[in-house]
Amino acid sequence: MKDEEDDITNAEGQEDDHTFDENQNEGKSFEGQHFYDNEDEDSQDTITKVTGMYKDWFLDYASYVILERAVPAIEDGFKPVQRRIMHSLKELDDGRYNKVANVVGHTMQYHPHGDQSIGDAMVQIGQKELLIDCQGNWGNILTGDGAAASRYIEARLSKFALEVLYSPKITDWGVSYDGRRAEPNNLPVKFPLLLAQGAEGIAVGLSTKVLPHNFNELIDSSIKILKGKPFTLYPDFMTAGIADVSNYNDGMRGGRVRVRAKISQIDKNTLAITQIPFSTNTSSLIDSILKANDKGKIKIKKIEDNTAADVEILIHLFPGVSPDKTIDALFAFTACETSVAPLGCVIEDNKPLFIGVSEMLKISTDRTVSLLKSELEIQLAELEEQWHFASLERIFIEKKVYRLIEEETTKEGVYLAVDEGLKPHIKHLKREVTQDDITRLLEIRIMRISRFDSNKAQDKIEALEGDIEQVKYDLEHLVDFAIAYFTRLKEKYGKGRERQTELRIFDDIEATKVVLRNTKLYVNREEGFVGTSLKKDEYVTDCSDIDDVIVFMRDGKMMITKVDAKTFVGKDIIHVAIFDKSDKRTIYNMIYRDGKSGPSYIKRFNVSGVTRDKAYDLTNETAGSQVLYFSCNPNGEAEVITILLRQVGSVKKLKFDIDFANLAIKGRASKGNLVTKYPIKKIELKEKGISTLLPRKIWYDDTVQRLNVDARGELLGEFRPNDKILVVSQSGKLKVITPELSTHFDEDMVVLEKWIPKKPISAIYFDGEKERYYIKRFLAETENKEESFITENPNSQLEIVSTDYRPVAELVFTKIKGVQKENMVVDIESFIAVKGFKALGNQLTTDKLKQVNLLDSLPYEAPEEVIPEDLQVQTEMDVDDSDIQLDDDGQITLTLE
């Protein structure tokens, strides 16, 4: 049978060894589904069913993989191969670097598997930059590049590892697999190492995935545990990035962490990825972006990978492609956003234990306290032993007990003489004098006795007594000692280990809203087909392969279906469009005839809560019904139409107008309101309507840096279709844009508000070329274009900006030659008039300024916003079908109580 060649490497660099004892199958063979024991041919064959073999052998193998290979121990946070590597590094430690190949070879004395698994596991430990001081090419977790061969790279223990991992006197020792050497069952780790490094492994029947956490936060949380204070732990990744830990679930099964790359916009055609999500690297990330581009989910021009010590991936966009939408699409369709499912599983008492990270930290903290106590107890015993012998040595020399052995000729006599000579002087000792003590006294050299200094001996004893008291004090105040220990670790090793992953709540990105419209939708109205392959028929709109299509037919049927090459929906199509299930503002206005010769009804409705590929009847479900008029209104517009009736019987009024604004918006299943019982000859559009919906309130949520209509964050105002928002950044740039919910905002944004065109903007800035401070007031003149309102010099800098009508600024001058000029208050409205956007402005002062402060603005009563029409939407309960009817002139009237 093969040995190491058949090993399978698992997720942590360990291999699943499928080798068995070569002797266990001697004399045995498989036949059919039975196992025959042929060791004794004369004896009657014994039969063991395969199920029995599976139960015994497989469970043994599963237990071995779980306990000895894939899952870390709760005591020290190591898997066996990792523990053996760290033990070997300690044995080889002489302060210098060792070849990794040498360490691997040394570890094989303890590890019963191949060198490949040891080398891989060691590289993974080294890449976490905590326990191993690495030299050479150890690979790159950012790019996914592997380490150089083990013969080319070197390693030694870090100072941190030497301090927290080893303490031979309190180590639990066992025997190596071949019985030749001693190895630690668990290392006495005095730090929550498992949570700092994280762990991942796949065993037989279970797995583990403990995410890494921040070094300093772990220490702070351990101190809080010792002080009895509450704490919360969240993961922190070496790849940095942004994480949403709202569903972390304490790192237990069922939790989930969403991680995103950090993407910024350099200019309108370039995006930059500077941090990547955990569990990815630049190579896999770029591959996912290219695949999404090939599938038409996103549209990019090219990608540049400039990653070296830091991540820098530049994504170049085609002209006209929205950077904001592309960022959302990168999160939706590529590895720029991934989801990590933690699973806290460890080994405790040779059994798998599923616990959360908070409980792991409590166990680790309690164990650290226990280890510190054991070390103190050993130190106390050693100090007391030193004090005991130092006291004996002083008595032995000062009282000249050594002279009593001069007349003795036997060993027993010598021991007895010393024992008798010590007895009068040892009442203050803390234990009895043993034969070993006397042996040590007799081994003292004559030269040492002759140079004995009584004062130095007394100083040594007093120093030992001071150390003993200190250790006793530490044992009595063990919690305080442990807190001081953790604090010292943080002060000594915590610098440079600050949190790298930014924690933020993510907004949910709807794929249908950000996917690239990579194909075109066509319709054959007469035959009733819609699809992307009907290129000879009528073009409808651009679409993507994940969009839904809404279709209305002349007979009053409606259907929503997935975009496909060719789909039959129903003949005589009157309207087809891309369907957005979250759109509540698109309103459909419709007039239909009930049956072949029945009355006509009018209705306004929106569409939501539908089942795909199900036909819905928007009429009264009478056979022969027909839609006479239909319009789709994206912002709830209500037009005025003219009804022309046929000349039938005694009809007096053959022509009248209807304003859809007088109708309530109801559900799609409503019957509608009666228009006329007479046949309609023609319906004409008389006047295009305005929106009958209330202005939409928009909020800005600083947590996710997005606009929303869900009342999260700061209210920006009520927006009508033509309203815009004003955005000003600290870099001195300004833009007026349409308030789209998908818009991304830069981190240096200082102003975000509803744009009032006639409201002036005031700014004080430093001109880098003239090295002077300028003040200006201007109006934003251009929409949907980002422009700079300060000079283009690299040293130019915006000091303050205000959109108040009467802002006030305070100038704090620099102290020159010991003279401090008084602060100056500037009424900006009085100081300068409103000028053009590109104007340089007026020079503010020639003196050097220390800082510029924005004070409370002067009172001003802003002009009321002129609203052409204040129309309010009636709810579904405002008007019922009997509330609307024709008057004598054929006009619709409302009869509301």
Which DSSP letter does residue 213 get? B
Residue 481 CA: distances (Å) to CA of 26, 218, 471, 540: 60, 17, 10, 75
Q: What's the token pair of residue 814?
A: 């620099």
Which DSSP letter does residue 204 get? S
Torsions phi, psi for 89 (to 5 deg):
-60, -35
Q: Is 387 helix (H, G, I), strand (E, B) or coil?
A: helix
For residue 528, with 0-12 CB atoms within 10 Å meaning exposed, 13-18 middle and 19 or more buried, which class applies? Answer: middle
Strand ranges in 68-112 using DSSP code E only, listed in sequence order: 98-99
Pick the closest to residue 646 from 595, 683, 674, 672 (CA basis). 683
Pick the closest to residue 844 from 766, 769, 791, 788 (CA basis). 766
Q: Is 211 in contact with 257 (CB distance < 8 Å)?
A: yes
Which residue matches tokens 């090459």? Answer: 565
Cα–Cα dist 700/542, whole Å: 30
Which residue matches tokens 């990035």? Answer: 241
For residue 138, with 0-12 CB atoms within 10 Å meaning exposed, 13-18 middle and 19 or more buried, which class applies? Answer: buried
Which residue matches tokens 């309130």? Answer: 697
Q: Is 462 helix (H, G, I), strand (E, B) or coil?
A: helix
Strand ranges in 660-710 using DSSP code E only, listed in sequence order: 665-666, 673-676, 680-691, 696-701, 706-708
Pick the closest to residue 895 from 874, 877, 880 (CA basis). 880
Cα–Cα dist 731/797, whole Å: 7
Distance of CA 193 to the CA centre of its chain: 21
Write the CB contacts of 757 (distance below 8 Å, at least 6 apart in sequence): 779, 780
Q: Is 124 in contact with 116 (CB distance < 8 Å)?
A: no
Q: For residue 603, how many other CB atoms are within 10 A of its CB? A: 25
Please identify which of the residues 152, 473, 539, 860 carries the catalytic annotation: 152
Residue 744 CA: distances (Å) to CA of 240, 522, 580, 663, 747: 20, 33, 21, 38, 10
Which residue matches tokens 């010099």? Answer: 793
Q: For the chain, give the number of residues.
A: 897
Residue type, 780: A
Report the relative pairing of strands 772-778 and 834-835 from DSSP bridges.
Answer: parallel
Distance of CA 146 to the CA centre of its chain: 25
Q: Is 776 in contact with 841 (CB distance < 8 Å)?
A: yes
Q: Is the dihedral of CA 549, 550, 552, 558 positive or negative?
A: positive
The reply to whether 152 belongs to the active site is yes
Cα–Cα dist 343/338, whole Å: 16
Cα–Cα dist 559/583, whole Å: 16
Torsions phi, psi for 666 (to 5 deg):
-120, -175
Q: What's the token pair of residue 721?
A: 């279709």
What Rg do the C-alpha atoms of the chain give, in angstroms? 41
Q: What's the token pair of residue 737?
A: 């844009």
Q: For residue 301, how many other CB atoms are within 10 A of its CB? A: 13
Which residue matches tokens 């709760």? Answer: 74
Which DSSP letter does residue 429 get? S
Which residue matches tokens 């989910």? Answer: 297
Q: Kindly list the catalytic residues.
A: 152
